[in-house]
Amino acid sequence: MNNRIKELRKQNKITQEALAEALSVTRQTIISLESGKYNASLQLAYRLAKFFGVKIEDVFIFEEE
Amino acid sequence: MDYKKKMKSKIIMGVIYAVLGIALIISANIPGAEGLNTGYVSSLGTAFTTIGIVFIVKYIRILRNPELLHKYEVAAKDERNIMLDSKARGLAFAVYVVCAAVAMIVCSIFYKQREAMIIGFNLCAIVFLYWICYVILSKKY
Q: What is the mean pLDDT of residues B31-59?
A: 90
Cβ contact, residue pair A25, B83, below 8 Å? no
As a dihedral over the C-alpha atoms of residue B45, residue B51, residue B53, residue B56, rounded to 10 degrees, the angle is -140
pLDDT for residue A65:
65
Q: Give the separation between CA A47 and CA A58, rounded to whole angstroms.
A: 13
Residue B1 has pLDDT above 70, yes or no: no
Higher-pLDDT residue of B112 and B28 is: B112
Q: Which residue in chain A has the smallest CA separation from B75?
A: A26
Q: Does A37 touch chain B (CB under 8 A)?
A: no
Q: What is the DSSP string of A23-37?
A: HTS-HHHHHHHHHTS
Q: Which residue in chain A has the smallest CA separation from B72?
A: A26
pLDDT for residue B12:
96
Q: Give the separation between CA B46 and CA B40, rounded to whole angstroms.
A: 10
Q: Best residue in A16, A19, A27, A29 to probe B by mutation, most B CBs within 10 Å?
A: A29
Q: Tell me: the pLDDT tens digits for B50-94?
A: 999 999 999 999 999 999 999 999 999 999 999 999 999 999 999
What lies within 8 Å, CB to CB, of B121 at 6+ separation is none
Cβ contact, residue pair B80, A26, below 8 Å? yes
Q: Give the predicted TM-score (pTM) of the model.
A: 0.81
Q: Tell me: the pLDDT tens digits for A7-52?
A: 999 999 999 999 999 999 999 999 999 999 999 999 999 999 999 9
Q: Which of residues 8 through 27 in chain A touch B, CB cutoff 8 A?
A: 20, 24-26
A3 forms beta bridges with A60
In this predicted complex, what is the ipTM? 0.89
User: In this complex, how many residue pairs, one in chain A and one in chain B, have their CB atoms less than 8 Å apart?
Assistant: 25
- Cα four-point dihedral sign B34, B37, B43, B49: negative
